[in-house]
């Protein structure tokens, strides 16, 4: 069985940053990702990031992705694609489906950076083809370069809803409207302003009553809600649409952490159940660390800093750097970047979509 010092699960912004940080200090890091391309959700993010310059603000997500991949190469990080981790035994042995074949790898330290999944919203007709996550629509237009439909309605006025609506516009499809059950737009003003300038109505206090269609979505019926989100009878309006995009939040992908017995706790603002981590991003199992969306839904820039923190902490605990005032200061610097980002953006900025 292959033995390594550090395995990082997930080649998204968190996993890449973790492996680069560890490799900078001499740890030979192995990154496993189930996809056939690295980068996680980064390459579909074609907007400019917020934050400070050091945190690559003003740079578009896919450019950051390219930078991270170049750095990983420079520092000799090994990335294995089409490798899905399906379990972890005795806290150190990873069970992997490597290109359709089973294999095992033993690691001294493991950093889980599994990302998140989009939340669904249940209403009659929600399983019809044409109802999809907003992130799915974003993936389709920006990665696969195919539009999800021609007549789209976006559910959720949080940052994901606003950003993806704009991405759809850039891809040449006009979103008919953005709706939200809330009484105010939940995303940032800058994103909402762009949408309003493009002439797309944002309809508040409405939710989806049902989706209609035989083999796919043909129509959506909306209904008004009161302050406690109860439906108000006889307020239905309908739109002819072929796609309903749901931007109603993400939930952390905690399956692996849960399976190995990391302690989880419930944090509604961060997306639900998340693994408990300490100031080193270490879970309740000594050799297992976690970072990025799976420890709470925030943003890619935060995922990267969390990844760096976990990578550096592993380099220290593996003995590649001594645990002294200097290395503690380096950890502290990353933590202060994190709190700056969180202050600037409002923690959990994209949590509600």
Partner 1 sequence: MRVIHHPILNENRQNKKITFYLDGEAIEAMEGDTIASALLANGRKVCRYTRKNNEPRGIFCSIGRCNDCLVTVNGIPNVCSCVTPVKDGMNIKIQKGNGEWEALT
Ligand X SMILES: Cc1cc2nc3c(=O)[nH]c(=O)nc-3n(C[C@H](O)[C@H](O)[C@H](O)COP(=O)(O)OP(=O)(O)OC[C@H]3O[C@@H](n4cnc5c(N)ncnc54)[C@H](O)[C@@H]3O)c2cc1C
Residue ranges binding partner 1 (CB under 8 A): 34-36, 41, 46, 60, 62, 117-118, 120, 127-133, 135-137, 139-142, 144-148, 150, 170-173, 215-216, 253
Beta strands in 172-294 (DSSP E): 175-180, 202-204, 206-212, 219-224, 237-240, 243-246, 250-252, 264-267, 272-275, 288-290
Least distance in angstroms from the C-beta of 268 to ligand X: 17
292 binds ligand X (CB under 6 A): yes
C-beta of 216 vs 339, nearer to partner 1: 216
C-beta of 85 vs 223, nearer to ligand X: 85
List 22, 29, 40, 69, residue binding ligand X (CB under 6 A) = 40
Q: Which two tokens stand for residue 297?
A: 């839904």
Least distance in angstroms from the C-beta of 166 to partner 1: 11
Dist CA 316 CA 310 (whole Å): 10
242 binds ligand X (CB under 6 A): no
Torsion of CA 314, 319, 325, 327, to 10 degrees: -40
The upper half-sphere exposure of residue 228, i.e. CA atoms within 13 Å in the direction of its Cβ, equals 1
C-beta of 143 vs 203, nearer to partner 1: 143
Dist CA 301 CA 294 (whole Å): 14
Closest of 181, 178, 169, 221 to residue 201, by C-alpha: 178
6 binds ligand X (CB under 6 A): no
C-beta of 114 vs 177, nearer to ligand X: 114
Dist CA 242 CA 234 (whole Å): 24
Q: Which two tokens stand for residue 10?
A: 């997930």
Beta strands in 33-100 (DSSP E): 78-80, 83-89, 93-98
41 binds ligand X (CB under 6 A): yes
Residue 344 binding target from partner 1, ligand X, none, CB below 5 to 8 Å by type? none
94 binds ligand X (CB under 6 A): no
Footprint on residues 46-75 left by ligand X (CB under 6 A): none
Residue 60 binding target from ligand X, partner 1, none, CB below 5 to 8 Å by type? partner 1
By the 10 Å C-beta count (0-12 exposed, 13-18 middle, 19+ buried), 325 is classed as: exposed
Dist CA 227 CA 242 (whole Å): 29
List 25, 35, 57, 239, residue binding ligand X (CB under 6 A) = 35
Instruction: Say how many residues touch ligand X, by CB under 6 A.
Output: 37
List 116, 154, 168, 260, residue binding ligand X (CB under 6 A) = 116
Residue 292 binding target from partner 1, ligand X, none, CB below 5 to 8 Å by type? ligand X
Q: According to the 3-state scheme, what is the secondary structure of 260-320?
A: HCCCEEEEHHHCEEEECCCCCCECCCCCEEECHHHHCCCCHHHHHHHHHHHHHHHHHHCCC
Least distance in angstroms from the C-beta of 62 to partner 1: 8
Closest of 313, 341, 307 to residue 17, by C-alpha: 307
14 binds ligand X (CB under 6 A): yes
Stretch that binds ligand X, among 113-121, 176-184, 215-223, 259-267 (CB under 6 A): 113-121
118 binds ligand X (CB under 6 A): yes
Residue 215 binding target from partner 1, ligand X, none, CB below 5 to 8 Å by type? partner 1
Residue 203 binding target from ligand X, partner 1, none, CB below 5 to 8 Å by type? none
Q: Using CB under 6 A, list all residues that contact ligand X.
A: 9-15, 32-35, 40-42, 44-45, 84-85, 113-116, 118, 135, 138-139, 160, 163, 250, 253, 256, 292-293, 299-300, 303, 350
């Amino acid at each position: 069985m292959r033995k390594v010092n550090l395995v990082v699960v997930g080649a998204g912004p968190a996993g890449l940053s973790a492996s680069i940080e560890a490799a900078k200090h001499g740890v030979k890091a192995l990154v496993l990702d189930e996809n056939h391309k690295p980068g996680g959700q980064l390459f579909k993010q074609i907007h400019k990031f917020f934050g400070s310059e050091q945190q690559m603000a003003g740079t578009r997500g896919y450019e950051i992705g390219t930078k991270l991949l170049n750095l990983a190469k420079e520092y000799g990080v090994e990335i294995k694609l089409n490798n899905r981790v399906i379990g972890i035994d005795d806290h150190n042995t990873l069970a992997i489906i490597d290109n359709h074949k089973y294999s095992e790898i033993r690691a001294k330290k493991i950093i889980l950076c599994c990302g998140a999944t989009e939340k669904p919203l249940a209403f009659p007709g929600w399983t019809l083809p044409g109802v999809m996550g907003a992130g799915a629509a974003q993936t389709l237009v920006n990665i696969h370069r195919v539009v999800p439909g021609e007549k789209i309605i976006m559910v959720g006025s949080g940052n994901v809803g606003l950003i993806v609506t704009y991405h759809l516009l850039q891809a040449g499809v006009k979103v008919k409207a953005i709706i939200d059950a809330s009484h105010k737009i939940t995303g940032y003003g800058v994103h909402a302003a762009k949408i309003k300038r493009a002439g797309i109505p944002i309809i508040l206090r409405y939710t989806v009553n049902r989706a209609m269609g035989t083999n796919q979505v043909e129509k959506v019926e909306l209904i008004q809600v009161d302050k406690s989100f109860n439906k108000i009878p006889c307020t239905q309006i309908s739109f002819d649409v072929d796609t309903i995009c749901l931007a109603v939040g993400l939930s952390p992908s905690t399956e692996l952490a849960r399976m190995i017995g990391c302690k989880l706790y419930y944090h509604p603002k961060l997306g639900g159940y998340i693994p408990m981590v300490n100031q080193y991003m270490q879970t309740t199992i000594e050799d297992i660390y976690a970072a990025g969306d799976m420890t709470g839904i925030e943003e890619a820039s935060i995922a990267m800093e969390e990844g760096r923190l976990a990578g550096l902490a592993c380099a220290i605990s593996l003995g590649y750097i001594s645990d002294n005032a200097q290395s503690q200061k380096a950890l502290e610097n990353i933590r202060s970047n994190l709190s700056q980002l969180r202050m600037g953006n409002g923690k959990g900025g994209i949590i509600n979509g």
